[in-house]
Amino acid sequence: MIQPLRFAFLLALLTSVVGCYAVETQSRDLPPRAAEPPRPPPRQPPPPAAEAPPDPPPTGGFRVPPDRVPPRGLCRIWYDDLPADRQPAAMTCARAQRVARNHGGRVIWAASDRAFQDGEVASADYGQVDLRGVPPDRLPPPGYCRVWLDGVPPDRQPPPAQCPQAERDAQRMGGRLLYMPSSDVR
């Protein structure tokens, strides 16, 4: 008679050998395994939200001649180095902020009815515009640009031009590009 412990051992051994043989035999007799269904791609993180336009610079008070305060609902770009009568015309506030963000200047608007009497306006400063050495009467007309060459007399400067051409000329000649915004108000 086989002792119970030996019997259990032999049974386990026989089961493992037969089991392996059965599995191996079965795997040879089976058709090739079908490809696993495609897994969905890993979840991508959501794209970042569209970048919000930068906030305008902090606003503050600023004083201009009362007759130069832009009408209610409009703005004006103010260049500190220009006389009041040479400042750009009033324009929509969206345009004024866009132009000042790209080219510099201070955007002003009437924050109250009192601004039309005392000239105290709200403003957002987008940075200084370099107009040093440029006589106000030599600035380009509204909507145009001009190359300004330092050290060259005003009467020998290149004439105002459409901005794309003036930009190319400024790169070629090495001068500053002056821009005078036009109004979008008709």
Distances (CA, A) of 52 to 49, 56, 107, 114: 8, 12, 20, 33
The pLDDT, as a whole number, for residue 17 is 47
The pLDDT, as a whole number, for residue 27 is 41
The closest of 107, 95, 109, 99 to 57, measured between CA atoms, is 107
**Rounded to an integer, what distance in angstroms lies between the CA atom of residue 96 and that of residue 172?**
29
The pLDDT, as a whole number, for residue 38 is 65
Backbone phi and psi for residue 124, each to the nearest 5 degrees, phi listed first: -130, 120
Per-residue pLDDT in tens (0 to 9) along the chain, 186 residues: 555 555 555 555 545 544 444 444 444 454 455 555 566 666 665 555 544 445 555 567 799 999 999 999 999 999 999 999 999 999 999 999 999 999 999 999 999 999 999 999 999 999 999 998 999 999 999 999 999 999 999 999 999 999 999 999 999 999 999 999 999 998
Backbone phi and psi for residue 149, each to the nearest 5 degrees, phi listed first: -100, 115
